[in-house]
Chain A
Amino acid sequence: MDKAGIVYKTVSEIRGPLLVVEGVRGAKYNELVEVRLPDGREMIGSVLDTHEDKAIVQVFGRTEGLELNASVRLTGEVVKIPLSNDLIGRVFSGSFEPLDNLPPPVGDEEREVFFSVINPAAREPPSEFIQTGISVIDGMNSLVRGQKLPFFSEAGLPHNVIAAQVARQATIPGKEEDFAIVFVAMGIKHEEFAYFRKEFEETGALNRAVMILNLAEDPVIERIIAPRIGLTIAEYLAFEHDMHILVILTDMTNYAEALRSISVAREEVPARKGYPGYLYTDLATIYERAGKVKGKKGSVTLMPILTMPGGDMTHPVPDLTGYITEGQLILDRELNARGIYPPINPLPSLSRLMKDGIGVEKVGDEIIVKTREDHPDVANQLYMAYAEGVKARGLARIIGEIGLSERERLYLKFADKFERKFINQGVYENRSIEQTLEIAWELLAELPEEDLIRIKESNIRKYHPKYRSKQSLS
């Protein structure tokens, strides 16, 4: 079949994933390019830098076997994909080739993959609590619709198990709504993907999911485009078909490494650890696509997973991610070693949008119940008490438990119980927010009442087990 556009056979240089194409008259920036090798292999690419007479193209394919004799066709279009709700249930490669033996999708419309920005004035601030059934998330780092909340993990920790549990259990209490999952794998192992696939299959989520797969053995540069394809689909389903989309991106560290390899091939001045200075901006163009839009029902909620090289939170990828996302859930090696699941350490974890999604809110005379009125206070108090307990544990390591004061010992006990009863739960245990808060109160009731200074008096009177048993007696 003949395709439109001009074909060039003038590749003069191959540098990693970059092709320098000479004699090109006016390639567009970000233009979609098709590359055909003499052996018949085809791949796509996009224009990264365009001069009067040459263009630099990044190819989203395997770089082995690239040769100067390749034909490069400029399509005249920026990179777009066809969209329709038939995409749900399908599986694609990182460059949008079908992997499920079905024909390539036909769309109701086409959208650009690279540039999509929600007007800040059009954004609806996220405020709907999503119950994940996981106490340490719901109780202390609540997720809300339209939020972007990443997992910061390390190799060997169960981030995939937790992500799958969230995907399985996430509901809005008391609501049945149209939802779907967009799953984007970037450089993850077969085994990890098999786990997600099994989980999704068993719960029936698979036919509510769109999968974009770039596994560890797949071309590295595809990772640049894979998350953007996933997010373009998510935006379309959310804002054209009123669906609630949970997007799982794993693993963002692999994405950033792909970006770095292009930057290195272009000989750019690096900022930190070889990563380009625009890493922040580039990550923002991915993460910021989460959100809600005024006047539209749907939402895009984003759960990126990244592994911190060497567990270092100041590494550029987790660091810059943390500056963009609305909080982070941090997996902790120590908790994991103690057999606590999920090993999410609440102290360095944070959900910035939590305050808008929990408790009750008064708007004029109307009272909007989101979770329960004591939820914000209880969360704050748990933080404070657990921090005290962790401090006491550190101290006990130096001077022994015997050297601790009465108060310190009390908090140490609290921290142990808190980890075993509140954080720890089963992989298939789905706790309601009420159950989560009940467990919290049971633990807090063991502290002196005057220590509960982060909780409003009225809430103590209403929810503290001590007063509740009195009330029920009288």
Chain B
Amino acid sequence: MQEAGRIIRVNGPLILARNVPRARIGDVVHLGNEKLIGEIVRIKEDIVAIQCYEDTSGLKPREPVINTNEPLVAELGPGLLGQIFDGLEFSEIKLHEVYGPFIKRGVKIEKLDRKKKWEFVPKVKVGDEVTSGDVLGIVQETPLIEHRILVPIPLETYKPIEGKIKEIYEGKFNITETIAVIETKEGKTLNISMLQKWPVRIPRPYKARLKLEEPLITGQRVIDTFFPIAKGGTAAIPGGFGTGKTVTLQQLAKWSDADIIIYIGCGERGNEMADVIDKFPKLRDPRTGRLLIERSVFIANVSNLPVYARESSIYLGVTIGEYFRDQGYSVAIMADSTSRWAEALRDISGRLEEIPAERGFPAYLAERIAEFYERAGRVVTYGKDNRVGSLTIMGAVSPPGGDFSEPVTSITLRFVETLWALDKELAFKRHFPAIDWLMSLSKYHAALRKYWERIDPDFAALREKAISLLEEASKIEQIARIVGEKSLPEDQRLVLLASEIIREGFLVQNAFHPVDTFCPPEKQARMLRAIMEFYNLTYPLVEKGVPVEMIRGLKVSFTVPGRESEEELSLIMLLERMKEWSDVGKIDELRVKMKEAIRKLAEEYGL
């Protein structure tokens, strides 16, 4: 019989056990007769504390605890893309097929499919010198993504190896069959299959970190233009409920120009996750025209699944992300929501009777959050060809009561470079994405300057001017709230009008509008220019006594895309509607007409 420890206490998802053989922190154990999966988190003399990743109903003291002597690992290889995993990397699609629509405890399936055969095309020959990270060969996993099989880093040492290819195969293999044999410098022979493993809690190593210089284009104007994120960067998106965190993250998952998207639903709503899973297979990437599902991995650990699996789902997602980064891809991770993971940490800490820091959260919360975001970056990977890969992390935060001073939000803000703060007031007005332009920030403006200068040399200046107009407008609005807009001086009323156009015409973006849902960078720059030109051209008029009402009433004759003939239309309305036009040329046409109309107005006033 296998040597086993014994359960001595079951306190919800926390298990205490005695005499677990060779117990180490992080070892995965099997609990009880149903072999529930757990992980050792504390050791005190002969007693260990285990966090269980499954529902523990029915588990009782004296049942056996078997130590697998292995840490929690992610299985990596062909078969990841398009999958929906739970927090332990079991395919929920497979579980549904085999066990029906409800989750059962204690059921075990293989993590990655062992039966499916993949066409393996070698990239090395017998006798080639290889090191860890070199591409052994490729599998065209989806039409969009070539899965590169790398020389692994052995788990025993976590150190890269060097060696010579002794055998290499070509053809159809499943992920456990040997595709190459390497003889290491030390004379050891290694059989390599496409299935590789990596412990989820240990960051995968790389050669060097690089400076961030390329934006992650999301097609969302308020993000790309005002609060951009760089490939390899980090962002947090905090907001109370109903402010649109999930819709915003889903938009990012859909339209970000990363090669690989990993979407982690951590402790969130089942129906929303189902919606993502349902929509993605139908959506196409605007750049490649391919289905988005071909580059995506989902981890769906919903809120009513066992709490501790939230932790494993976060680490699993990052590990899969690093694996694709190491193949030389740009990877973007969306985690919704990191607060639920923090609550799982609080739960276990409470059950272990640790002394809590703020609001019941453990003192080590900050370390864990920092470690998570630190796994983002742009790196030179192992391997002779010095591939460059990046991992971008975007995490939603759900502050209780919308209070940004609570521990998870305030800690997260210390470790991210971009903040998209969601605002309840904006959400009430159905201003979406409800990203508050006064509170949000990005530290990547300087790094991304070059990119935008290629599109519009004045871009940075226009953006800064727009932001300062918005800031000024919010101050003026405070005054207007007391004295009424009517009593304001004309130049201030123009600022309010311009900021209204920026808000309605630029910042508000309809995720469900076929054109507006994704706005290419070129169009963003053109729209910003048109709006700022409006302000720059009308300001001198107002200074010289033209009333703002006259400017608000400006008409131009214009053919709106989709209509046959020219019509007399309100200029303001057209500026607020140009986001719905797919033809960027129309924006330039409007700019010409706008200049004309403003010039005429000036003439009427003898200017």
Contacts and interface: CB of A to CB of B under 8 A. Distances in A.
A344 to B, nearest CB: 14
B300 to A, nearest CB: 4
Interface residues of B, number: 82
Nearest to A363: B282
A288 B304 contact: yes
A120 B577 contact: no
Interface in B571-590: 572-573, 576-577
Contacts of A78: 57-58
Contact of B270 (A123, A313, A316): A123
B49 interface: no
Contacts of A278: 307, 343, 347
Interface in B329-365: 340, 343, 346-347, 350, 356, 359-360
A281 B481 contact: no
A22 interface: no
B61 A146 contact: no
Interface stretch (B67-75, B97-105, B187-195, B210-218): B97-105
B484 A123 contact: no
Interface stretch (A63-71, A153-161, A167-175, A267-275): A267-275
A404 B343 contact: no
Contacts of A289: 304
B9 A51 contact: yes
A405 interface: yes
B271 A125 contact: yes
Give the interface centre of A353, A450, A457 by most chain B CB atoms within 10 Å: A450
Interface string B18-60: 0000000000000000000000000000000000000111111
Nearest to A286: B304
A117 B267 CA distance: 13
B9 A450 contact: no
Interface in B84-101: 84, 91-93, 95-96, 100-101
A146 B402 CA distance: 27
Nearest to A396: B484
Nearest to B345: A277
Given A29-B56, A281-B303, A405-B486, A118 B350 contact: no
A119 B100 CA distance: 8
A314 interface: yes
Interface stretch (A11-19, A108-116, A130-138, A180-188): A108-116
A125 B278 contact: yes
B591 to A, nearest CB: 19
Interface stretch (A245-253, A321-329, A428-436): A321-329
A320 B241 CA distance: 9
A288 B340 CA distance: 15
Interface in A371-419: 376, 380, 383-384, 387, 394-395, 398-399, 403-405, 408
A453 B346 contact: no
Nearest to B356: A269
Interface string B144-180: 0000000000000000000000000000000000000
A404 B300 contact: no
Contacts of B480: 395
Contact of B481 (A376, A395, A454): A395
Interface residues of A, number: 86
A384 B430 contact: yes
Interface stretch (A82-90, A213-221, A291-299, A334-342): A291-299
Nearest to B100: A122
A132 to B, nearest CB: 19
B38 to A, nearest CB: 13
A443 interface: no
Contact of B504 (A26, A27, A293, A453): A453
B277 A121 contact: yes
B590 to A, nearest CB: 15
A117 B305 CA distance: 7
Given A78-B57, A277-B350, A328-B242, A120 B356 contact: no
Given A118-B101, A125-B274, A289-B304, A269 B486 contact: no
Interface string A259-273: 000000000111110
Interface in A286-319: 288-291, 293-296, 313-314, 316, 319
A168 B55 CA distance: 38
Specify the main secondary structure of chain B where it touches its partner: mixed
Contacts of A272: 359, 400
B3 interface: no
Interface string B267-303: 1011111110110000000000000000000001011
B570 interface: yes
Contact of B62 (A26, A285, A350): A26
A322 B484 contact: no
A94 interface: no
Nearest to B265: A120
A126 B59 CA distance: 35
A342 to B, nearest CB: 19
A355 interface: yes
Interface in B76-133: 84, 91-93, 95-96, 100-103, 105
Given A404-B486, A450-B570, A457 B303 contact: no
B485 A405 contact: yes
A239 B100 CA distance: 11
Interface of A: 25-31, 48-52, 78, 112, 114-126, 146-148, 239, 268-272, 277-278, 280-281, 284-285, 288-291, 293-296, 313-314, 316, 319-320, 322-324, 326-328, 347-348, 350, 352-353, 355-356, 376, 380, 383-384, 387, 394-395, 398-399, 403-405, 408, 450, 453-454, 457-458
Interface of B: 8-12, 55-63, 84, 91-93, 95-96, 100-103, 105, 240-242, 265, 267, 269-275, 277-278, 300, 302-305, 307, 340, 343, 346-347, 350, 356, 359-360, 398, 400-403, 424, 427-430, 480-487, 504, 512, 560, 562-563, 569-570, 572-573, 576-577
Given A51-B8, A288-B270, 5 more contacts: A116-B102, A121-B277, A280-B340, A288-B304, A293-B101
5 contacts: A30-B58, A121-B93, A123-B271, A291-B271, A295-B101
